[in-house]
Structure 1
């Protein structure tokens, strides 16, 4: 699962005084881009040149394509690492599509989608001018299996034949020799690469966007030190990496050609990434936009409710706020193995009792959270199918909840415990937990709040053996489709008994498992999306969770920033499109 980009926790609660600035702006966010997400930047046509500054809370650590999880840390890795496919770099829903990158197309499957073939474009080069080959792509993937380079997405280990036992090219095999290859990746010539899978995977083109698919020249591989100077296949190369990504400086790769890269605009000459900054300071600097900060953005820091309230009174400043939607759902999870949650009527009662208005307010208000009644996010690419099996209106239906509790043998109500994190976030926070507590009280349900330190909370909710019966949880997809959203949560074969388990309900329904397999065979992504939506609606009837809200991201850009693009794939500003002149 991809975690959402870091939200400005401290800024959400702090009422800092934003300096009102008068930038030259075109129009407000409502009219910017197909998705209405891109902020209006400074007027004028984007031009090449200048330095883009990125101000972030978290460091761009582990800058190695094997160790990065998807596009980790916003979009910075995609400036250096190209992959076989990539996301379409456009606003809104159009940005949720997968398109070719290093490859000529998004892959060619065999009849049952168990084999995928890609062909590289002509003229691809690294920063040193040497040619990029499929052997480099194969090696880049193989090294991601090494234990010392762990941290990337797990799909290839599960999907490739032999991936579950492969340990990478560094460890010696039974014959004592290193450099063992993964036989399920075949490179018949320098431009062709074939992947052989254990089972049908119609969404393989999405997986090929992940950084493990970035080419790595074997002769330049320095193992765990590779992150200090990875060899660039993208428009920028690393010229400085201090304190494990705390200060990252990128400059143009002279051998990158825009002729074979239709997605990245690469306007600035230089990218200066500065991390480890306080969230409130980041937003203050972007608001003031003095000096280099006028050409600055953030890829990990949101605006909070107090800041948005102050910004709203100034049209020029408000026009520099971009809005993003990333496929993510915050929800109440049930463990039906724990009483009384083994009774569907109790789960239904809680579903009816929820006051989504108070939950949304606790999560920052309607500008930062949208109420949810479906598990899948409200985006076409996921297969979103509207449904509300337990209609509670905006503020809940306590009368219906009491009726169901009575039918379940609890005429005088019941007492339960809700587990949540004590971390100050707007997803699993004490504020959200308290809103749930107060709503359920109206239905005769007394809720005791169990707040745990974040690491302890995550460990407990992900334990198949010790998970509580009722807790706040969340899930985000690694790409905008139904597969990585529903399968980890509801596929019984993905229940993990001795590690991190995300199938909280421990649902192991043969019919659900079979439908997941059937959808995975589809290479027509539109048809697959419809099936995912129908499956979501069907599973929803069992009241195994209570969808609460989908987060919304609000971020400032400097007054001289142009060409802001925010897609529904990432929900954050795409730095490959930004211009500062």
Structure 2
């Protein structure tokens, strides 16, 4: 299905944390539990079935990818220590970290990488994120700690693709043993491991004492499910939560006025858009699609609805994404132009249509 996209804003990442005292800021504190109040529960803990950001927050404390982004958006080693690409740009060879164990005690190696990538594209897996590995032609085990991944064609963003949480490496032993139930009892290589999961209530992660990298400072992280925006804010202000995300913009002023919390805003990757199916009427007519674009007032949405937390975008990719085309501008708000285009397309009185909304 082809779609046309009406882009009207790009979110920044916005979350709020309880402010530590000056003394607590001087040096990291070892131990303790962090309470993260989230609006939705994790839907799965199997990375190959993750389709939403809230779920990924827990999944990526348990699992890791071959490479990752650092805070400056540079791709750096993670489970792969080094890599090189062939002269024809088709084969990527990765040298893997030695001495890494999954949380079920089994070793991380080339077999695990091949199993992970083979599993996500296997029709029997039925992963909704199969396309994450769609550019991969095959994975070859060179030796215990070296893999060669061949792509269908030269693909510049391949390393960036490998940072996707859907391509996080999982334990072949655990996945084969549990099948679909791996989603409830995962085994990755990350700094935290699953302690318990009460669906609809909370996910509790405990520090992975066998982690290959720098050990986590925290003993535990609790993702507490609190669907109501106002309740999450109340828990933060009362000290019952340490961090909240999906901050309601209508309550932003109240949070910023509190001396006990810190509002953190960073550029994010999330894109808010209206997708139009240009294979069905009336959206098969470009005049109708343009009319929809001109009928939306993006600046009013950013300033009025989002309280300035967001930037206008001219593409379905956030400007923060490496390789994104910069400087594209959205269609200007022009109701008169929108009405004229609709009339020209045969809809002088407008039309009704259905829509679907997906949380990301």
| TM-score in same-fold range (> 0.5) | yes
Tell whether 2:285 aligns with 1:342: yes
Tell whether 2:38 aligns with 1:56: yes
Tell whether 2:161 aligns with 1:207: yes
| Equivalent in the alignment of 1:122 | 98
In 1, are the aligned partners of 2:267 and 2:320 still within 8 Å (CA)?
Answer: no
What SS does the corresponding residue of 1:104 show, helix, strand or coil? strand
What is the distance in 2 between the residues matched to 1:191 and 1:22?
42
What is the distance in 2 between the residues matched to 1:229 and 1:413?
54
| Equivalent in the alignment of 2:269 | 327
What is the distance in 2 between the residues matched to 1:411 and 1:342?
7
What is the distance in 2 between the residues matched to 1:24 and 1:109?
45
The structure with more radius of gyration: 1
What is the distance in 1 between the residues matched to 2:204 and 2:321?
37
Q: Relative to 1, partners in 2 of residues 1:146 and 1:411: Cα closer, same or farther, differing over 3 Å?
A: closer
| Equivalent in the alignment of 1:275 | 225
Tell whether 2:75 aligns with 1:98: yes
Q: Could you tell me which of 197, 219, 222 is aligned with 2:151?
A: 197
Using structure 2 for the length normalisation, give the TM-score: 0.78
Q: Gapped runs of 5+ residues in structure 2?
A: 1-10, 12-16
Deviation at 1:348, TM superposition (A): 5.0
In 2, are the aligned partners of 1:232 and 1:238 still within 8 Å (CA)?
Answer: no
What is the distance in 1 between the residues matched to 2:209 and 2:232?
32
Deviation at 1:134, TM superposition (A): 0.8
Q: Could you tell me which of 251, 261, 267 is aligned with 1:307?
A: 251
Q: Could you tell me which of 222, 232, 243 is aligned with 1:297?
A: 243
Tell whether 2:127 aligns with 1:186: no
Deviation at 1:199, TM superposition (A): 2.2
Deviation at 1:45, TM superposition (A): 1.9
What SS does the corresponding residue of 1:43 show, helix, strand or coil? helix
In 2, are the aligned partners of 1:79 and 1:234 still within 8 Å (CA)?
Answer: yes
What is the distance in 1 between the residues matched to 2:346 and 2:196?
65
Q: Relative to 1, partners in 2 of residues 1:256 and 1:475: Cα closer, same or farther, differing over 3 Å?
A: closer
Matches within 5 A, 1:559-570: none
Q: What is the root-mean-square deviation in Å for CA atoms of aligned residues?
A: 3.8
Q: Relative to 1, partners in 2 of residues 1:418 and 1:204: Cα closer, same or farther, differing over 3 Å?
A: farther
Question: What do the CA deviations read for 1:184-233 (whole angstroms, capped 9, x no partner)?
Answer: 21112110111122222222212222343413133763212223332231
| Equivalent in the alignment of 1:578 | none
In 2, are the aligned partners of 1:104 and 1:118 still within 8 Å (CA)?
Answer: yes
What is the distance in 1 between the residues matched to 2:275 and 2:129?
24
Question: What do the CA deviations read for 1:324-356 (whole angstroms, capped 9, x no partner)?
Answer: 432233345553864586355x65566555433
Q: Which has the higher relative contact order, 1 or 2, with Cα contacts under 8 A spaced 6 or more apart? A: 2
The number of residue pairs the alignment matches comes to: 342
In 1, are the aligned partners of 2:18 and 2:243 still within 8 Å (CA)?
Answer: no
Q: Relative to 1, partners in 2 of residues 1:188 and 1:351: Cα closer, same or farther, differing over 3 Å?
A: closer
| Equivalent in the alignment of 2:349 | 415
| Equivalent in the alignment of 2:340 | 405
Matches within 5 A, 1:351-500: 351-352=293-294, 354-361=296-303, 364-379=305-320, 381-388=322-329, 390=331, 392=332, 396-397=333-334, 401=337, 405=340, 410=344, 414-417=348-351, 419=353, 452=354, 457-458=355-356
| Equivalent in the alignment of 2:114 | 138
What is the distance in 2 between the residues matched to 1:141 and 1:340?
37
Tell whether 2:212 aligns with 1:257: yes
Using structure 1 for the length normalisation, give the TM-score: 0.51
Q: Relative to 1, partners in 2 of residues 1:64 and 1:332: Cα closer, same or farther, differing over 3 Å?
A: closer
In 2, are the aligned partners of 1:159 and 1:198 still within 8 Å (CA)?
Answer: yes
Q: Relative to 1, partners in 2 of residues 1:133 and 1:308: Cα closer, same or farther, differing over 3 Å?
A: same
In 2, are the aligned partners of 1:374 and 1:386 still within 8 Å (CA)?
Answer: no
